[in-house]
Amino acid sequence: MKGHEKLPQAALDETRPEVILGDQAPGLLLICDHASNRVPPELGDLGLDAEALNQHVAIDVGAAPLTRRLARDLGAPAVLSTTSRLVIDFNRAPGGENSIPEVSHQVAIPGNTGITPSEAVRRRDEYFQPYHDQIAEKLRWLGSVALPPSIISIHSFTPYLDEERPWHVGVLWDQDQRLAGPILDALYDVDGLVVGANQPYSGHSPLGYTCQTHGDARGRPNVIFEVRQDLIDTPTGVDAMADILAPVIANVTRHLQQQG
């Protein structure tokens, strides 16, 4: 699928994930855990100002438009969060460390201080679970006509955290390297692209809840892309990165399906 042709998209309810319907043929699902900085009105912006809510503390800058563009180019379905990671982190185990952070990247989150167990459960049931239920539903749908579908998770990272982070894109994995290996090989051949293997984060750490739960635990190929934010914080940057990643994803996932 070329250019910016739109795929059908489910009606958007702000309390539910964004779903791009896509097609079964590509055999893959795109996901974006940190796509939104939206805080539900009843939480009063969690006591943060607009500046904080537009930074990495609240959202993976550029990840959502990149996910949508890749979905268009690949003809693939996608599931994107519609609530900020500060309300509840969609890529952390509920009830675990940093699931509902009181401090993130040295920024205090007043609205998360001392919340009750019942409020934590409410956030899990109202925001976290529908997102993961939708991912599970899409993967069942894809798996009904093909081999185990591939999961492609899109994230972004800041150019500086304690030190300069030189990578343009990182490829992360934990147990399953069926996608990561050939994707790394292909990206290493892209002239001028600085590629990190399990950088700037390691997929072996307990941070990749979504891929570990829907991918590794169920034998589905999965990979996480971490793209440097300053490369995808404009539409032009998103297009340039999608032009690099889309054909690589298409070729690797197609080859994996053919291998059986």
Q: What local confidence, expressed as pLDDT, does residue 260 receive?
A: 63
Separation CA 123–CA 222 (nearest Å):
27
Residue 193, by phi and psi: left (phi above 0), alpha (psi -120 to 50) or beta?
Answer: beta
The predicted model scores a pTM of 0.92
pLDDT, tens digit, 9 for 90 and up, residues 107-141: 999 999 999 999 999 999 999 999 999 999 999 99
Q: What local confidence, expressed as pLDDT, does residue 13 receive?
A: 55
Q: What local confidence, expressed as pLDDT, does residue 225 receive?
A: 98
Contact 171, 223 (CB under 8 A): yes
Q: What local confidence, expressed as pLDDT, does residue 147 receive?
A: 81
Taking 70 as the threshold, does the pLDDT of residue 243 lie above it? yes
Separation CA 239–CA 65 (nearest Å):
9
- Reported as a pLDDT band with limits 50, 70 and 90, residue 196 is very high
Greater confidence, 9 or 173?
Answer: 173
Average confidence (pLDDT) over 20-26 = 94
Q: What local confidence, expressed as pLDDT, does residue 206 receive?
A: 65
Q: What local confidence, expressed as pLDDT, does residue 201 receive?
A: 85
For the chain, the structural domain boundaries read: 18-259
Listed residue (159, 169, 176, 164) closest to 190, CA to CA: 169
The distance of Cα 85 from the centroid of its chain, to the nearest Å, equals 11
Mean pLDDT rounded to a whole number for the chain? 91
Separation CA 83–CA 39 (nearest Å):
6
Taking 90 as the threshold, does the pLDDT of residue 257 lie above it? no
Class for the domain spanning 18-259: alpha beta
